[in-house]
């Protein structure tokens, strides 16, 4: 079945970087954009950016510009989100989510989600 | 960026009752590009509604969405025990694709 599988929890020190993988299976990897959304403990959802798995082209939310990098590996159907210069406010569950695409157009709502990766930033 | 404000913050109802959740945008959401998600504790969000009023695959017809412009509503016609969760709206008409702060639907 279609799924996005993420890695287990990470603990990082302030100032470090984290790279979170998201492996897609059960559908054509290059057919849908993939997004990253995070959720701080007890808080709401925050969109971070998008990657086109076919071209590798990315767009990031302005808040994360300069600190986030999204890449993909088509040979393993995996996208990665790397966040650098971590601070305590970056403690959150990070989700990858698939944007919906039909045969003719793509829209940026999310019809398939990974299970989330908890990143804890400690000082 | 478009700010989405959901109300109420918490809604206390009983199974069998009707739930009405509101999502108001700070500016018009183009083409009614608004979605609703349900999230239960420890789980990822689940897509319920897209394009303001279209139900996602396998979503029961007791869930319905309506609205346009800046005012949108999610209605659950008769609450089942499994419907008690947090609900988020999201606009995807204008980047950044923002979410509301959520409505906690509790028993």
What is the average pLDDT across A50-61?
Answer: 95
At residue B107, does pLDDT exceed 90? no
For chain B, say whether A110 makes contact (Cβ under 8 Å).
yes
For chain B, say whether A116 makes contact (Cβ under 8 Å).
yes
Q: Which residues of B fall within a CB distance of 8 Å from A116?
A: 44
What is the average pLDDT across B26-37?
Answer: 93
Give the minimum alpha-carbon distance from A44 to chain B in angstroms, rounded to a whole number.
5
**Alpha carbon separation from B104 to A21, B83, B99 (Å, rounded):** 30, 11, 14
Mean pLDDT of chain A: 95
- pLDDT band at residue A102 under the 50/70/90 scheme: confident
What is the average pLDDT across A56-82?
Answer: 97
What is the average pLDDT across A61-71?
Answer: 96
* Neighbouring C-alpha atoms within 13 Å toward the C-beta of A34: 33
């Amino acid at each position: 079945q279609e799924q996005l599988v993420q890695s287990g929890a990470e603990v990082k020190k302030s100032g470090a970087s984290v790279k979170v993988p998201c492996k897609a299976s059960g559908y054509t990897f290059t057919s849908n954009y993939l997004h990253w959304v995070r959720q701080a403990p007890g808080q709401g959802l925050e969109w971070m950016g998008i990657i086109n798995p076919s071209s590798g082209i990315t767009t990031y939310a302005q808040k994360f510009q300069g600190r986030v990098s999204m890449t993909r590996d088509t040979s393993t159907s995996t996208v990665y989100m790397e966040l650098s210069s971590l601070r305590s406010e970056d403690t959150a569950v990070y989700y990858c989510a698939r944007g919906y695409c039909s045969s003719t157009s793509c829209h940026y709502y999310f019809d398939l989600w990974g299970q989330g990766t908890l990143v804890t930033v400690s000082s | 960026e478009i700010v989405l404000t959901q109300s109420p913050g918490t809604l206390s109802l009983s199974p069998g009752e009707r739930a009405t959740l509101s999502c108001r945008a700070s500016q018009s959401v183009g083409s009614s590009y608004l979605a609703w998600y349900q999230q239960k504790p420890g789980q990822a969000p689940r897509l319920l509604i897209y394009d303001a009023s279209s139900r996602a695959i396998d979503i029961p017809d007791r869930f319905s969405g309506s609205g346009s412009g800046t005012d949108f509503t999610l209605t659950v016609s008769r609450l089942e025990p499994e419907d008690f969760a947090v609900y988020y709206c999201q606009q995807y008409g204008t980047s950044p694709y923002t979410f509301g702060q959520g409505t906690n639907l509790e028993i």
